[in-house]
């Protein structure tokens, strides 16, 4: 099982190997590789920091909060409210990604406004939109 905070349900759909630092990128990539190797994975909705956050240069010494906590929590809550999900909920990662992908444009308009990564996430990769965690293809599942 993996834990993901609210806005990371969108981030994991768009991750293409870029990030805040080399440590962050290496961690995110290793996480994606591990999830793919494991096959079907469940995800728990996290209330605060998750495994993606562990190597973020903005993670605070408490290991849970972010230097930009207010903005991050606003993004998390926007996604969770829109999806009707609560922290602690467990579901299939693949099902969660398909549910988010079905509302991608709407969610990005609510969750991602002002995010520095938004322009990159709006790009469509050579294989269409897919989850780097599961490599489920969004074009013709």
pLDDT digit string, tens, across residues 44-103:
999 999 999 999 999 899 999 888 899 999 999 999 999 999 999 999 998 998 899 889
Phi-psi domain of 88 (left: phi exceeds 0; alpha: psi -120 through 50; beta: other): left
Domain boundaries, the chain: 2-121
- Give the mean pLDDT of 8-30: 88
**115 in the Ramachandran plot: left (φ > 0), alpha (ψ -120 to 50) or beta?**
beta
pLDDT reading at 130 higher than 80: no
Strand-pair category, 90-92 with 42-46 = antiparallel
Banded pLDDT at 140 (limits 50, 70, 90): very low
| pLDDT reported for residue 37 | 84
Higher pLDDT, residue 66 or 36:
66
């Amino acid at each position: 099982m993996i834990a993901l905070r609210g806005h990371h349900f969108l981030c994991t759909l768009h991750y293409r190997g870029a990030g805040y630092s080399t440590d962050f990128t290496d961690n995110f990539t290793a996480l994606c590789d591990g999830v793919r190797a494991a096959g079907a994975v469940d995800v728990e909705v996290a209330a605060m920091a998750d495994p993606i956050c562990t190597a973020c240069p903005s993670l605070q010494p408490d290991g849970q909060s972010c230097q930009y906590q207010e903005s991050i929590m606003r993004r998390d809550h926007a996604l969770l409210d829109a999806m009707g999900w609560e922290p602690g909920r467990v579901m299939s990662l693949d099902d969660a990604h398909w549910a988010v992908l079905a509302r991608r444009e709407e969610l990005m308009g609510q969750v991602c406004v002002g995010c520095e990564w938004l322009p990159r996430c709006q790009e469509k990769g050579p294989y269409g939109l897919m989850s780097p965690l599961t490599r489920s293809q969004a074009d013709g599942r």
